[in-house]
Amino acid sequence: MLSRSIVLDTEHLDHVVRHFSRHGAFFFDIESIPPYRGIPAHNTVSWISLATYGMAVTIPMGHIKGDRIIGERVEMYETKTGKIRKRKIPVWSTAPEQLRPSQVFEALEPLLFSDREKGAHSLPMDVGSVAKYYGGKIPPPPYHDTYTSSVLLDENRLNGLKPRIKQLYKIAYDTEDTGRRVEAHSFRKVARYSYADSALGWLLYKHNDPLIDKQGLRDLFDMEMELLEEVIDMAAYGDPVDKAVLEELERELTAALVEHEARIYRAVGREFNLNSPPQKAQVFWGPKEQGGLGLKPVKLTDGGVKKKRRGEKLTITDWSTDADSLKKYKGHPAVDAMLDYQRDDKLKGTYVDALLHPDEDDCLIINGRVHARFNPMGARTGRWSSSSPNLQNIPVRTPQGKKIRSAFRAEDDYLELIADYGQIELVMLAHFIGYGALFDGFWKGIDPHTITAALVFALPPDEVKANRPDLRSIAKGLNFAIVYGAGPDTVAEMAEITVNEARKHMKKHRAEFPEVYAYKAHVIDTARRQKYPHTTTLLGRVRRMPELRSRDDEKRSAAERQLFNSKIQGSAADLIKLAMIRWRRNHPAGAHMTRTVHDEVGVHTPKHLVEESKAALLDAMVGPGIQKLVKVPLTVDIHAVERWSDAK
């Protein structure tokens, strides 16, 4: 028998805590309101709901709106274009009297800080959010994040709580997406939603937990749960950022954009929307009679390719105006100006404005630190993703981009440690093969691109290393092609050689590295023979790929490339996750990990702890306890720098 209720007084709350304390596990969910919604450790919790055997409750603490609209008032507001308008705002009845957060969290402390298993869907958000009410202290493990368990059990489906519940129990609840803005909805509606999230999350927990064992995923799952402790800390600590650098860059880019814009209009002879791909297509590819420049388009957009395949008629806007296409006409004044504009507009819009001028309620920088969301299950391969903002695509290549990276810097009396694995994907490949030239090269301390060039071009590695950067760059393209399954066209483009040359080198590569191709074929073949086609990574993460059995050649080939890449990419992801856990288990107090970018981690450490932190990070990433998992030597580069941009 399930009892469900809204908790509004201390007596009820005490009863709830006593009930939950009798069980070894519970599930909970929080709702939060601006400011800082979505940033645990800074946000304001307005509801917490809990579920366990026989009971689900929700506890409101400061929901304003009642259940009915009792009138309306008129409000003035400013539109995006700066116009002043009137709008009618509904007036709500008042909500029932609720407990204060201090009362609620004091009563919940024995439960949240007990050794009971704590479940939540996207647990770092929930666990991290309540920490604020305990002076930053974080409710301890054991954890069960049902988002993580759901993804591990099947990475190819929608794994949000709502879609999972719909798939499992055919229950569609909260069709209005109440959780996105609880403060906009009635007390009754939020109560129902919040209670449902916990009650159904509890069911998902009971569903997933035994399946984790059944599918042999327990060790991997335990690792992911331990990793969440680091995720929670990273989210709370944030990543120090120098606003002054961004503000300076904003001024520079604004001025540059005005110039680029003028140059474009001058060269084209008229004005148009520089950010509109269709208008750009008209301008660059359009005939001169119609005011275009009459250049010959280079490649189709994705939509254009699809149209062509369906035999539909192509229009001028089906031709891509991306930077690659425009680069063919470098030297043309309009093209050069357009390329400059696109580059600077991208940098300003995505990396400067987004950080300095976020939408209201969407504050990204708090006390000089940006609090991104790192999602350890962000990619189907097991890689991390990052969002709000994405710290994994901060520019590094162009000088303008590098300036953005320089805004990420250590605070006074601190330094950043930037550590990245050397050639981690090729290390994984050599490890799995277990022998061959790549494998031997790693043991001799020769980097894989040099080995590849030496064998493909029949030169001594020393000669390649010292005098032939050109051949090494071709070798880089060839190795890239292995891991990603690229064809001659891509290799040619990467290495800036002809497609025929690329073909020739790929053929030689196949002859010199037969074990690589045999291994790749073996992985794909083995995967296809499984009852459910899949492969596994270093630490047993599963990549399921039913399309391996597709009769459609194109689909099947794509699946083969994805499968093989997933094994390599996923194993590299396993390794860095393990390294992060090892860092967490053993690092100097006062040093904090602040970000991870696939094969790299960043640590913020007081200057007096730099050497100690370096040693801990080195051990975490390549020490014996992790090296024993990999049959070739792991390498890592560590730089202690003031600014992220100084590491490369």
- Residue ranges that bind DNA, judged by CB under 7 A: 79, 85, 273, 275-281, 301-304, 318, 320-324, 342-343, 346-347, 349-350, 353-354, 375, 378-381, 383, 385-390, 392-398, 401, 480, 484-487, 489-490, 493-494, 554, 557-558, 561-562, 565-566, 569, 597-600
Return the number of the residue (303 or 460) whose C-beta is nearest DNA.
303
State in angstroms the smallest separation of the CB of 535 from DNA. 12
Classified as helix, coil or strand, 559 is: helix
Smallest distance from the beta carbon of 79 to DNA, in angstroms?
5
Q: C-beta of 603: minimal distance to DNA in Å?
A: 17
- The answer to whether 186 touches 193, Cβ cutoff 8 Å, is no
Taking the least distance from each CB to DNA, the nearer of 494 and 641 is: 494
Q: How far apart are CA 486 and CA 477, in angstroms?
A: 9
State which residue, 106 or 547, has the beta carbon closest to DNA.
547
- The answer to whether 471 and 497 have CB atoms below 8 angstroms apart is no
Q: Which of 125, 142, 145 is nearest to 201 (CA)?
A: 145
CA 354, 29, 365: angle at the middle one, nearest 5? Answer: 20
Which residue number, 440 or 489, has a Cβ lying nearer to DNA? 489
Residue 431, φ and ψ in degrees, nearest 5: -60, -45
Q: Could you give the maximum distance between any two Cα atoms of the chain, in Å?
A: 84
**Omega of the bond leading into 142 within 30 degrees of 0 (cis):** yes
- Spatial neighbors of 475 by CB under 8 A, at least 6 apart, are 449, 450, 451, 452, 453, 456, 464
Task: Name the residue among 570, 577, 545 with its Cα closest to residue 559.
Answer: 545
What three-state secondary structure class fits 447?
coil
The SS3 call for residue 89 is strand
- Helical segments of 408-513, H only: 424-433, 437-444, 448-456, 461-467, 469-484, 488-495, 499-512
Picking from 29, 20, 45, the residue whose alpha carbon sits closest to that of residue 99 is 45
Q: What is the smallest separation between the CB atom of 17 and DNA, expressed in angstroms?
A: 36
Smallest separation (angstroms) from DNA to the CB of 392: 6
Between 72 and 213, CB nearer to DNA: 72
Specify the residue, 130 or 502, whose C-beta has the smaller distance to DNA.
502
User: Which tokens is 387 given?
Assistant: 């969002």
CA 387 to chain centroid: 6
Residue 393: DSSP 8-state: S
**Residue 62 or 485 with smaller CB distance to DNA:** 485
Shortest distance, CB of residue 4 to DNA, whole angstroms? 29
Q: Which is nearer to DNA, 186 or 342 (CB)?
A: 342
390 versus 586: smaller Cβ distance to DNA: 390
Residue 60: exposure state from Cβ atoms within 10 A (0-12, 13-18, ≥19)? buried
CB nearer DNA, residue 46 or residue 317: 317
